[in-house]
Structure 1
């Protein structure tokens, strides 16, 4: 073996060694995985009230702004309900006012009867004195005694009428409160006939409602994909996550955008492996157990870009920078 061959072999060995060192260093400080997928929050849109769809203002896969009207249920039955509840409440208020007017008159009647009773008592005392002086006949004093009893009965009757009216007014006040709540509920249901986007979002592809369709509360109609909160769940092997911490920077590339790099940060690391949270977690209490390395989801928050819109479910490649 000549000197030139030795130099070539040595150089090749050095290059391979440097390459291996670089690979292991990169894999140590910049752990990466291809087992990663894009996620976003989704909500299922369901009506709060039942009725027929009047108009639809959204389309499958369309972008909608927060506060944008998406659909409207025929509002007429709910408008009639509001009007009916208002009418009943107004009638109850008018009835309460009439009862209060009767109560005022009943109190005045009590005052009048008490005044008459006072005059009768005064006259009875005077005639009792005259009777003792034998100036007037006994029959006259007996007439005043009967008038006194009659006046007392009228006062008692008027006081009972006041109690009855006060009870009716209290009942009417409770009825007005209940009707006021019914009016509020009817207005809420009327407002629920119009559904507005709760956030900037994309309408899902499974958009199945049509104008004229009858819908019920809780019935799933379509989904909205939240466009304000995107992340990647990168499934790292358990031997890779010992250096990863919350807040570390990360780079993410997507198969749908070759050559484009998305930047993000680690926001959390799952406390359990993907298999642990599965419907049927593995049971390894057998004699022929084989060790299988587990993967733990690392969540990386991504910033949305208008030039490269993210899509839920897209495959990704994630690399975390663990250097201090």
Structure 2
């Protein structure tokens, strides 16, 4: 069989088609060059970026047995809402004892104030007795000079003066002692009342802390507490993630850091939404070291053969809160990041005078105020 006779020769490509292909390639190269000159060289991109945020631990401040759990994983909770209830029997008994002791102390201090008045009246009585004894001694000395009485009666009068003087000294010391207990204080500011009040506050706060509140508003995760479990202070029971305060950690190669500055604009795309949603943010800082420098087992390059590995540095990017509210994100989601580096006037690292990013919660701010109200009520009722 002759295969050469049956083979149909391929017609050569027309010259017009070849020219068209060359023109398309040239135009593509020109477009790529123009894009690089106008925008590409002023932009750094990476896909090694992930959503990050705060994972706030929920911990108890007192020990106890769990009697109720008010939220579970994926639930949304508000700051201050009670998440866990502990058995408060022992704490309430301790509070009742502290309240009774405070009431008893207030009444004892009232008795001390009354004792001051009593010792002051006794002092006045001793002063009158001394004055009377001195007058009697002077009268008897006159009678002794005229021979109307004997010298023995005068000596008895002198003994009476000395006894009255000693009685006055005792009354003076008693008044000083009783005044020292209540001097320059009121019942509420008396040291004994303050000590008893402090014990009431401790007991009241211990009762209050048998309810474990949510420190922030967010979504519950990592619940690892069960009903009937005996927990100790400081042990993480669950976590709350505030999804309204998220940021992105973008890991750029060290060769890409040269032109990245704080304040530069960033465009981000989340894999969960695709290119339909473009987030806008800004660079707010760089980590003080590479990812490997803070790893659990940092690389040791001082011995053996060494192979250079390009390092990456996490760049922190703030997100627009309104966009996050409209298109919610979750921790750990992948992001594509593109930083516009044309404006290079900012600093590369956070300087001393730059604003910091702090966090706070006011959930526990009013515990002592409520305890003070309980103390004031007990003091007023027994004053």
Deviations 1:140-192 (A, max 9, x none): 2122112112212222222333344345557x933322111111122222221
Q: Distance in 1 between matches of 2:225 and 2:287?
A: 37
Question: RMSD between aligned alpha carbons?
Answer: 2.5
1:100 Cα shift? 2.0
In the alignment, which residue of structure 2 is the partner of 1:236?
Answer: 252
SS at match of 2:244: strand
1:46 Cα shift? 0.8
In the alignment, which residue of structure 1 is the partner of 2:145?
Answer: 132
Question: Which 5+ residue runs of structure 2 have no aligned equivalent?
Answer: 1-12, 344-383
Deviations 1:268-298 (A, max 9, x none): 1223111122233333335732222211111
The alignment status of 1:17 with 2:29, answered yes or no, reads: yes
SS at match of 2:68: strand
Aligned residue pairs, count: 323
In the alignment, which residue of structure 1 is the partner of 2:342?
Answer: 323
Alignment of 1:207-286 (within 5 A): 207-259=223-275, 260-286=277-303
Q: Distance in 2 between matches of 1:262 and 1:238?
A: 24
Q: Distance in 2 between matches of 1:88 and 1:129?
A: 61
Q: TM-score, normalised by structure 1?
A: 0.90
In the alignment, which residue of structure 2 is the partner of 1:71?
Answer: 84
SS at match of 1:11: helix
Give the counterpart of 1:32 among 37, 45, 66: 45
Between 295-304 and 13-22, the greater mean CA deviation after superposition: 13-22
SS at match of 1:239: helix
Give the counterpart of 1:83 among 71, 80, 96: 96
Q: Distance in 2 between matches of 1:23 and 1:283?
A: 42
1:32 Cα shift? 0.9
In the alignment, which residue of structure 2 is the partner of 1:52?
Answer: 65
1:201 Cα shift? 0.9
1:24 Cα shift? 4.5
Are the equivalent residues in 2 in contact too, given 1:230–1:303 (CA < 8 A)?
no
Are the equivalent residues in 1 in contact too, given 2:80–2:215 (CA < 8 A)?
yes
In the alignment, which residue of structure 1 is the partner of 2:194?
Answer: 177
1:117 Cα shift? 0.6
Are the equivalent residues in 1 in contact too, given 2:144–2:154 (CA < 8 A)?
yes
1:314 Cα shift? 1.3
Q: Distance in 2 between matches of 1:287 and 1:56?
A: 55
Alignment of 1:87-98 (within 5 A): 87-98=100-111
Q: Distance in 2 between matches of 1:109 and 1:99?
A: 15
SS at match of 2:55: strand
Alignment of 1:88-167 (within 5 A): 88-167=101-180
Q: Distance in 1 between matches of 2:288 and 2:114?
A: 71
Are the equivalent residues in 2 in contact too, given 1:53–1:74 (CA < 8 A)?
yes
